[in-house]
Amino acid sequence: MNASTVTRRGVAVLGMALLLASCSGTTKDSAGQGPAPQATGAANPAAPVKTGLKMTFLPKQVNNPYFTVVQQGGEKAAGELQAEFKATGPSDASASSQVTYINTAAQQRQDALIMAANDENAVAPALKTARQQGMKVVTLDSDVATDARDVFINQADSRDIAVKQVELISQAVGGSGEIAILSATANATNQNTWIEIMKQELAKPEHAGLKLVEIAYGNDDDQVSFQKTQGLLQAHPQLKGIVSPTTVGLAAAGRYLSSSEYKGKVALTGLGTPNQMRAYVKDGTVGSFALWEPNKLGYLGVQAATALASGRITGAPGEKFTAGELGEYTIGAEGEVVLGPPTVFDAANIDRFDF
Amino acid sequence: MARLLRWESVLVLLLVAVAVVGSVRTGGTFLSGGNLFYLGLDIAEIALIALPLTLVVVSGEIDLSVASVLGLSSALVGTLWNAGWALELILPVAVLAGALCGALNGLLVTRLGLPSLAVTIGTLALYRGLALVLLGDTAVADFPASFTQFGNTPIPGTRIPYPILLFALLAVGFAVLLHHSSFGRSTFAIGANPEAAWFSGIRVKRVKLILFVLTGAVAAVAGIVYTLRFSSARADNGNGLELAVVAAVLLGGVSIFGGKGTLGGVIAGVLLLGGLRNLLILDDVSTEVLTVVTGALLLAGVLIPRLLGSRYFPAGRKT
């Protein structure tokens, strides 16, 4: 068989494939959507809380400090509820790496899975199969397709976060003056959502004294954020405060301010972790900043999983459940539960947190 | 007696050991139909790609671009689906694109005489880059259930996943090709001594080119399986998978220097790695220990036959 024969046969095969495909094809337009997801069964709020429930916590990846704190909260709730709680997961945060662990949890007949998804779609088929076998699925931090889980625990409502940051910067600069925002990347969805709501807040009469002069982007890179902070202060000599709604930006800005002539003169606030910001709070660079508490996220996740596995809730909007020391929660649209307003950290309380 | 002491026999013994320990440790769950179904799905892509890669390694070459071809195939499926093409057309086009990737590898190796290790490290980046150009960091997930069920549901009336049926068919084909055809004998001859093979009339470049094309095509098939299995076409699908496949091939007793190896050994190697991983996860062994055990097993797989000498472990036929 010479080369031209190979080519001719190849072309013939391809031609046949094209012909076949043009006769009957499954295209994006012709593909129907599956049946809409529905909460199964009816909730019985009076059902007894089951003990001895077996639960698996599946973080985005193991050995991630943030999820270690989430896990500690989960362990606390599991202790209170007398549930068996274990954490497992992949060492990389790729889209499909969690699927093996979902299938394993199903094989181990776990009552509930509490997970933060690496990819909203890649894990969905495995979750759906596991749910058909009776496993309850609670997502937290990062959601999956709504028909692949029972409840999603959202760490914070976007509006709560944005409003809190305007409140903090207003307090820090005494209600009036020029302020700037140091964000992550220009196309980060969550950052832009917050900034948009912050602008709406700033337009309200009670914030008339505050003037947003620039939005800088540090690309969530320590060095770039550091330089952008420097640039903001040089470009705006009257600047009174900086809001950085990203942990990388806030820490970098704190480092620059603490070692510059602006320390104590230009206010800084935003979203950060207590461990990163402790030094700057103690040396007076930063008065207060905010973030949700990851351990409460894990705590609420286990509480919701227990309520689901006990039949007290099904994940339908409007259902209520009590979550131990966090009090009562109501399930919102599409099975979403919001942890609550962000926690504010300052010199008075920062030593109580370790994450 | 020598036959009993072959490395392939050791692998089979280890497989039996994993099965026994597995069912004892997990109270029968390990060997349950449900778990074996997921185990089959878990190793599907590695098993598929290991088939042609075995022949490539036997011929004395290597292809490290296989996982990138998988990703490119996945990204191509997603892009064409978004463009409104029919899946019946997209799938053969994706396989053809994989064959073209393999052909480029093969041409660079055979026509320019470049080492396959260097060539395929280059195309590893090139094909992954093309996949990222196509899809970026977005995912395409709205494939119809009639197609994705092939990646997630067993063949009716059995516990066998469709991708494993596909693997079984291809395994028979590649076993015949490697061990029962003149093409296979040529492959062994080339791996053992390319110059001797050339002087004895074997068209060395032609054989190698075909092997690279086959590998590219099967890697693209694995990309389709991956995409349908996770209902998710992404450019980074299968990232890093090339190491797992090469590891399985080497554990299976194929000599990295070419000329030695059996397809049966490689299949046993794939099953052993997949089975052990499944067992350890099911037994709640931590991810860190899992990585250590896998690494140690691979070292043992390469070291033991060599330490004991080829007298006891003539790993596969030499033709």
3-state SS, one letter per residue, for A53-97: CEEEEECCCCCCHHHHHHHHHHHHHHHHHCCEEEECCCCCCCCCC
Look at residue A13 and tell me whether its pLDDT is greater than 70: no
CB B297 within 8 A of CB B276: yes
> How high is the pLDDT of residue A35?
47
Report the amino acid identity of residue B308.
Answer: L
Q: How many domains does chain A have?
A: 2
Do A102 and A226 lie in a common domain? no
How far is Cα A130 from Cα B279, in angstroms, rounded to an integer? 19
A62 CB within 8 Å of a chain B CB: yes
* DSSP β-bridge partners for residue B287: none
CB B43 within 8 A of CB B274: yes
Cβ contact, residue pair A90, B234, below 8 Å: no
Domain for residue B114, yes or no?
yes
Q: Which residue has the higher pLDDT, B172 or A20?
A: B172
Do A254 and A270 lie in a common domain? yes
Determine how many CB atoms are found less than 10 A away from the CB of residue A181: 25
Domain for residue A353, yes or no?
no
Domain for residue B296, yes or no?
no
Report the amino acid identity of residue A296.
Answer: K
Provide the residue range defining the domain that includes A250. Answer: 158-291
Cβ contact, residue pair A91, B84, below 8 Å: no
Look at residue A187 and tell me whether its pLDDT is greater than 70: yes
Specify the residue for token string 């077996």.
A54
Q: How far is B12 from chain A (nearest CA, A)?
A: 24
Collapsing DSSP to helix, strand or coil, B137 comes out as: coil
Q: What is the interface size between A and B, counted as CB pairs within 8 Å?
A: 117
Domain for residue B304, yes or no?
no
* Facing B282 at nearest CB: one of A25, A90, A108: A108
Q: How far is B318 from chain A (nearest CA, A)?
A: 28
Do A316 and A169 lie in a common domain? no
Look at residues B294, B270, B290, B272 and name the one whose alpha carbon lies nearest to residue B281: B290
Domain for residue B204, yes or no?
yes
Model pTM?
0.84
Cβ contact, residue pair B230, A62, below 8 Å: no
Domain for residue A349, yes or no?
no
Domain for residue A352, yes or no?
no
Domain for residue A15, yes or no?
no
At B287-316, the pLDDT tens digits run 888 889 888 888 887 787 777 655 544 544
Cβ contact, residue pair A101, B82, below 8 Å: no
How far is Cα A209 from Cα A203, in angstroms, rounded to an integer? 10
How far is Cα A136 from Cα A148, in angstroms, rounded to an integer? 10
Domain boundary among A258, A274, A291: A291
**The dihedral of CA B155, B159, B165, B166: what is its sign?**
positive
Domain for residue B246, yes or no?
no
At A158-174, the pLDDT tens digits run 899 999 999 999 999 99
Tell me the pLDDT of chain B averaged across its residues. Answer: 91
Average pLDDT over residues B152-165: 92
A218 DSSP assignment: -
Average pLDDT over residues A106-115: 96
Do A215 and A278 lie in a common domain? yes
At B195-213, the pLDDT tens digits run 999 999 999 999 999 999 9
Domain for residue B314, yes or no?
no
Domain for residue A351, yes or no?
no
Domain for residue B90, yes or no?
yes
Do A84 and A199 lie in a common domain? no
Provide the residue range defining the domain that includes B65. Answer: 43-238
Collapsing DSSP to helix, strand or coil, B73 comes out as: helix
**Chain B (95-124) residues lying within 8 Å, Cβ to Cβ, of chain A:** 96
The H or E element containing residue A248 is helix A247-258
Report the amino acid identity of residue B243.
Answer: L
Q: How many domains does chain B have?
A: 1
Residue numbers in A near B284 (CB within 8 A): 86, 88
Collapsing DSSP to helix, strand or coil, B229 comes out as: helix
Q: Would you say the ipTM is above 0.90?
A: no
Do A121 and A172 lie in a common domain? no
Determine how many CB atoms are found less than 10 A away from the CB of residue B113: 8
Do A239 and A306 lie in a common domain? no
> How high is the pLDDT of residue B4?
52
Determine how many CB atoms are found less than 10 A away from the CB of residue B200: 10
What CATH number has the domain bearing residue A121? 3.40.50.2300
Do A287 and A302 lie in a common domain? no
Do A120 and A64 lie in a common domain? yes
Do A277 and A299 lie in a common domain? no
Q: How far is A203 from chain B (nearest CA, A)?
A: 35
Phi and psi for A137 in degrees, rounded to 5?
Answer: -120, 120
Q: How far is B175 from chain A (nearest CA, A)?
A: 22
CB B38 within 8 A of CB B91: no
Do A272 and A305 lie in a common domain? no
Domain boundary among A251, A272, A291: A291
Specify the residue for token string 């392939």.
B8
Do A143 and A163 lie in a common domain? no
